[in-house]
Copies of this chain bind each other. A is one copy, B any other.
Amino acid sequence: MISRLNERIQATGAPIVVGLDPMLGFIPEQILGNAFAQYGETLEGAAEAVWQFNKGIVDAVYDLIPAVKPQIAMYEQFGIPGLAAFAKTVQYCRSKGLLVIGDIKRGDIGSTSAAYASGHLGKVQVGKNTFAPFDEDFATVNPYLGTDGVKPFIDVCRENGKGIFILVKTSNPSSGEFQDRIIDGKPLYELVGKMVDEWGADCMDGEYSEVGAVVGATYPEMGRVLRDIMPKACILVPGYGAQGGSGKDLIPFFRKDGLGAIVNSSRGIIAAWKQEKYASYGAEAYADASRAAVIAMREDIQSALTLS
* A residues apposed to B, CB below 8 Å: 21, 23-24, 32, 36, 41-43, 45-46, 71, 73-74, 76-80, 82-84, 87, 105-113, 115-116, 118-120, 124-129, 131, 133-134, 142-149, 167, 170-179, 181-184, 188, 191-192, 195
Contacts and interface: CB of A to CB of B under 8 A. Distances in A.
20 contacts: A21-B112, A24-B126, A36-B127, A41-B126, A41-B129, A43-B124, A77-B116, A78-B119, A78-B133, A80-B84, A105-B106, A107-B142, A144-B144, A144-B178, A145-B174, A146-B172, A146-B177, A149-B174, A177-B195, A183-B183
A113 B181 contact: no
Copy tally for this chain in the complex stands at 2
A167 B144 contact: yes
B148 A174 contact: yes
B41 A127 contact: yes
Contact of A183 (B128, B171, B181): B181
Contacts of A131: 42-43, 78-79
A87 B149 CA distance: 25
Contact of A173 (B129, B133, B143, B148): B148
A73 B119 contact: yes
A279 B173 CA distance: 54
Contact of A147 (B32, B41, B127, B174): B174
Given A36-B127, A144-B178, A181-B188, 5 more contacts: A23-B111, A41-B128, A83-B83, A109-B170, A142-B144
A23 B119 CA distance: 13
A229 B206 CA distance: 48
A157 to B, nearest CB: 16
Given A83-B80, A105-B108, A115 B74 contact: yes
A281 B84 CA distance: 39
Nearest to A195: B177
Nearest to A181: B183
A296 to B, nearest CB: 23
Given A131-B43, A133-B78, A145 B119 contact: no
Contacts of A143: 144, 178
Contacts of A129: 41-42
Contacts of A184: 181-182
Contact of A126 (B46, B149, B173): B46
